[in-house]
Amino acid sequence: MRRSLGSSYDEIGQSYSATRREDPRIAAVIHSALGAAKSVLNVGAGTGNYEPRDRTVIALEPSAAMIAQRSGGAVSAVQGVAEALPFASDSFDVAMGVLTVHHWSDRVRGMRELRRVARRQVLFFFEPAKVDATWIMHYWPAIRELPTEVDPPGEAFFRSELAVQDVRPVLVPADCVDGFGGAYWARPEAYLDPTVRGGISSFTQLDPAEAAAGHRRLERALASGEWDERFGDLRALSEFDIGYRILVAGD
């Protein structure tokens, strides 16, 4: 099996399901983007978050550790990678991917595979052009140097590889249930919790000394009031465009 970019989720995903559960408001956006699709392939499916329960779903995931954390209600997953999908051409109405493409070792090949097996593609991703909206980088600047973050795929890349119909911001609720990278934009104290950081690949891939230094920087900024002075207005918002996008491509 091809190795993914950065660390494998067999290493960094051991406790993923502790903090990574689908947020119902984001799930509604993703499910609406699936349209009338009856058959769905979920690529980089992980523990099964955001998989619709009212359609035929096949899940594909490379990491055994992630597959082991799939809930009893989720369909069982096929082990494999996006770059070599073990399915015949035109097998699915939609191929979906949630917060996964930046981990693929060959994203161009992965896009070709999505187009081959499904006539429509639905992706939920973080738009790199919005990276400055994430104050997290002020405290953990080394995140920008991670292999998955140096040149992550954004709208421009997807437009070059897919017949994109629509790309829209997905506002992240202040009480977002899914603990992905930007989820705690209004709850900075959460990033001081090692369990929270353990569910976010940008932190689990960091050198432990860098992770600890960032922890100390944020802790000091919260104690001194500096964080609230710079970013405290965020605490009053109920949702925010921190850079997540839903994309629909194909027919």
x/- map, 173-202, ligand SAM, by CB under 6 A? ----------------------------x-
User: At residue 61, what is the residue type?
Assistant: E
Shortest distance (Å) from residue 114 CB to ligand SAM: 10
Told to check if 161 binds ligand SAM by CB under 6 A, we report no
**124 three-class SS:** strand
**How many binding residues for ligand SAM (CB under 6 A)?**
24
Choosing from 26, 62, 118, 183, the residue that interacts with ligand SAM (CB under 6 A) is 62
Quick one: tokens of 229?
């002075």
The answer to whether 73 and 101 are in contact (CB under 8 A) is no
Choosing from 19, 33, 92, 100, the residue that interacts with ligand SAM (CB under 6 A) is 100
Name the β-bridge partners of 159: none
The answer to whether 97 and 124 are in contact (CB under 8 A) is yes
Q: List all residues 6 or more positions away from 238 whose beta carbon is below 8 Å from its beta carbon.
A: 173, 174
Closest-by-Cβ residue to ligand SAM is 46
* Window contacting ligand SAM (CB under 6 A); options: 56-64, 168-176, 207-215, 222-230: 56-64
* CA 164 to chain centroid: 19
Residues that bind ligand SAM (CB under 6 A): 4, 9, 20, 43-47, 49-50, 61-63, 66, 81-83, 98-100, 103-105, 201
